[in-house]
Amino acid sequence: MIETLFNSLSSPMVLAFVLGVFATIIRSDLKLPEGMYLGLTVYLLFAIGIKGGVKLTHTPFVDFYKSGIIAILMCLAIPIYAYHILKRLAGFDSINSAAMAAHFGSVSVVTFSQTLVHMETNNIPYEGFVSALLAIMEVPGIMMALYLAKRNQPGEQETLNSQQEILKELLTGKGFVLLIGGLLIGLASGDKGYEQVSPFFDAPFKGILCLFLLEVGLVTGRRLGDLKKVGLRLVLAAIFIPILNASIGIWLASFIGLNVGTATIFGVLCASASYIAAPAAVRIAIPEANPGYYLTAALAVAFPFNVTLGIPLYYYFATLLCQ
């Protein structure tokens, strides 16, 4: 585990993230050109989708459906118990507990990308359908958490319209469209079609991820001050919930016979917290929720923990359970 941890912490992607945080702390004027962040996001989402679709062509449905079922079950269960942990144990009110639960119930594409790089760098095999699991797990958890926030509020028709608006935005948003569209393109074109674009989506992927994590580090650094305001209870909850999610996810993965690499990736998907899709949905559905809570939990605590210590920790869990 120590070697895996060292490899994770010394990877260029993680170090780029650390550089971004450090640059913010010393108040450097470092920043990426305007619009570049969006371009990097589009590239990563589309690349993950296409490569996942191509790998999915080699995966029989019988090898995938069990994973799909536990993925749906987990992204529905996580916001429910995360909500109760945040409300009953951490002491947050219903609205903010639901808002944070929505973030923990969805997934982080960047954490997923870093995990794939970690697997490939260490020559750890994994199943090709993991990108499909990423797409499956993005939306349901957010909807479940928003239901928890709205169920005790007056105005049934207003709640229904709000949920329909959120669902429409999630399903037509760039993240979902690029992932699903990329998967379908990869499925339709297969290996022969992918050969035509592989020079663009293979070799540059890690470099693009480096730049993206540099920008995420800059954003995270700007939110570090919020840690003083939210207190220790949020920090502990934002570390405990990912570890709990990963542990349950890896146990389920081992139960259905997934290999170590795939179980690790599924554990990471369960542990990761969304900071792209979920904040947009929460902003629409529960504007009264405090962004200082849910953004700090997802971006300033859960994300750094997962990409530095979490990935090697979850891999270690998987080696113990998936033998």
Concatenating the DSSP letter of every residue in 174-230 gives HHHHHHHHHHHHHHHHHHHHHTTTHHHHSHHHHHHHHHHHHHHHHHHHHHTTHHHHH
* pTM beyond 0.85, yes or no: no
Other Cβ atoms closer than 10 A to 227 = 16
Query: Does a structural domain hold residue 194?
Result: yes
Whole-angstrom Cα distance, residue 312 to residue 261? Answer: 11
Whole-angstrom Cα distance, residue 295 to residue 302? Answer: 10
Could you tell me the pLDDT band of residue 283, with boundaries at 50, 70 and 90?
Answer: confident
**Contact (Cβ atoms closer than 8 angstroms) between residue 71 and residue 107:** no
pLDDT in tens, 51-88: 878 877 877 777 788 999 999 999 999 999 999 999 99
Residue numbers of the domain that contains 159: 2-21+36-321
Tokens of 71: 């993925």
For 257-271, the DSSP string reads: T--HHHHHHHHHHHH
Better pLDDT: 151 or 198: 198
pLDDT in tens, 144-170: 887 787 765 555 455 556 667 767 766
pLDDT of residue 3: 63
pLDDT of residue 9: 66
In the predicted model, what is the mean pLDDT of residues 254-263?
A: 94
Query: Does a structural domain hold residue 28?
Result: no
Query: Does a structural domain hold residue 55?
Result: yes
Distance, CA of 300 to chain centre:
14
Query: Does a structural domain hold residue 69?
Result: yes
First-to-last C-alpha distance (Å) of the chain: 16
Query: Does a structural domain hold residue 232?
Result: yes
pLDDT of residue 61: 76
pLDDT of residue 160: 55
pLDDT of residue 4: 62
Whole-angstrom Cα distance, residue 27 to residue 261? Answer: 39
In the predicted model, what is the mean pLDDT of residues 208-237?
A: 84
Query: Does a structural domain hold residue 52?
Result: yes
pLDDT in tens, 89-98: 988 999 999 9
pLDDT of residue 86: 94
Whole-angstrom Cα distance, residue 149 to residue 212? Answer: 32
Give how many domains the chain has, as a whole number: 1
Residues above pLDDT 90, as percent of the chain: 32
CATH of the domain at 113: 1.20.1530.20
Query: Does a structural domain hold residue 27?
Result: no
Query: Does a structural domain hold residue 31?
Result: no
H/E segment holding residue 47 = helix 36-56
Whole-angstrom Cα distance, residue 64 to residue 132? Answer: 9
Other Cβ atoms closer than 10 A to 186 = 26
pLDDT in tens, 94-114: 999 999 999 999 888 889 988
